[in-house]
Amino acid sequence: MREVDGVTGSKSAKSLRWVAAILGFALLVATASQASAAAGPVFTMPSASNPVSSMGITYPVSVSGTYIPIPMNCVSEKRVLWYGPGTTPDGLWRDIQFPGSGSPTYTASALSINGSYQPVVGDFDGDGCEDVFWYAPGAARDWIWYGDASGTFPRTAEVTIPLDANAIPIVGQFDTSPGDDLFWYVPGFAAESIWLGIPDAFVPMLAPAVNGTYTPVLAFDRSSILWFQSGPGADFVWRNIEAGTTTQLVHSPTTVNGTYLARNLGGTPLLYAPGSNPDQAITGVTETSSPSDHSPVTLRGIAGAINGTYVVSTSTARSGFGVLHAPGPAPDYLIIPRNTGTYSRQPNGSNGAEPNSYTTPKEISADGNTVLMSSNASNLVAGDT
């Protein structure tokens, strides 16, 4: 069991209350096992004849215990860091291989993470390996672990956060550097901030003011955020967010019907309604007939059902997959969402694409417009109200 320097403290029940509130969660098994498809999500299990369902491909795995799963990517190697708040042992799966059918394979190792955190993943130093920002809202100390090819997180650094204790970090890219950045959203009317990721540090910058209470999720590319409210309140899509300004230039009203938890499955925004209510994988937006920077847009989505209550991971487009974790002995799943595309950062107008565009092959149309994601589905339907 290796304890990584830089993350200290006790996993007390008091400090875990906020973890349960936002994500919900013993021993990691050394190899994956086949789980019953009937016990898990209503997704098609991968096979040669039917490789995908309406929302994605699911792969059964077996993880006993209560965890916050953290999907990651390091130079194309797929990983999951299993963080167990409290006394649950932590672990790391490396070199995950997704087969044409059956269960994935991986190499498991142990980690020790002391403390209670809201983990946030991104490639903050821009070296191609994703890192973990261990965020502890309030007065507790915060840390960043920098990933590398060995999977041992050899570099750690303490991070000082002079922000409201209720601040919510959203990982994206809000400048032209290769590293991921953090948009710090503060519910209400406090000032937001963007931290630009650079090697071994963050650079604080001004951010557009949100002014309101919303549920945010990184949307259709790495510089867009969907802000939605439960119930009848107005929802918005911000696109082309840039650090260093307090005014958002491109903001469009939209409508999200229902009450959801917001997650991002490997670059695909997911509005998750625990239980049997419809869930929504957002695949893009439909513009009005006369689009402008402020004209309304309609969300395109794939409606599906994740039957049951899971801890649903949040991961970046680099990883391209997510995790559905059922605390306890119930089956767990790795999921590759439908329409997972290739993310690439491009300068404005390069090859007809928007900056920071998230596209799949052949989705730059003849007229030079970027089709963010392809979808056969219609608008979002009413969800868990």
- Give the pLDDT score at 361: 30
- Give the pLDDT score at 139: 76
With b meaning 16 or more CB within 10 Å and e meaning fewer, what string describes 159-174?
eebebbeebbbbbbbb
Is the C-alpha dihedral spanning 176, 181, 184, 185 positive or negative? positive
Q: What percent of the chain has pLDDT over 90?
A: 41
- pLDDT tens, 224-241? 999 998 777 789 999 999
Amino acid found at 215: T
- Give the pLDDT score at 293: 83
- pLDDT tens, 82-104? 999 877 899 999 999 998 777 89
Residue 5: count other Cβ atoms within 10 Å of its Cβ: 10
Determine contact, residues 258/273, Cβ cutoff 8 Å. Answer: yes
Identify the band that residue 289 occupies on the pLDDT scale cut at 50, 70 and 90.
low
Domains in the chain (CATH in brackets) are 14-359 (2.120.10)
Q: Is the pLDDT of residue 215 over 80?
A: yes
State how far the alpha carbon of 348 is from the alpha carbons of 159, 240, 248, 345, 373, in Å: 32, 10, 17, 10, 19
Residues 139 and 158: their CA atoms lie apart, in Å, by 13
Residues 252 and 372: their CA atoms lie apart, in Å, by 16
Residues 109 and 152: their CA atoms lie apart, in Å, by 10
More confident call, 73 vs 18? 73
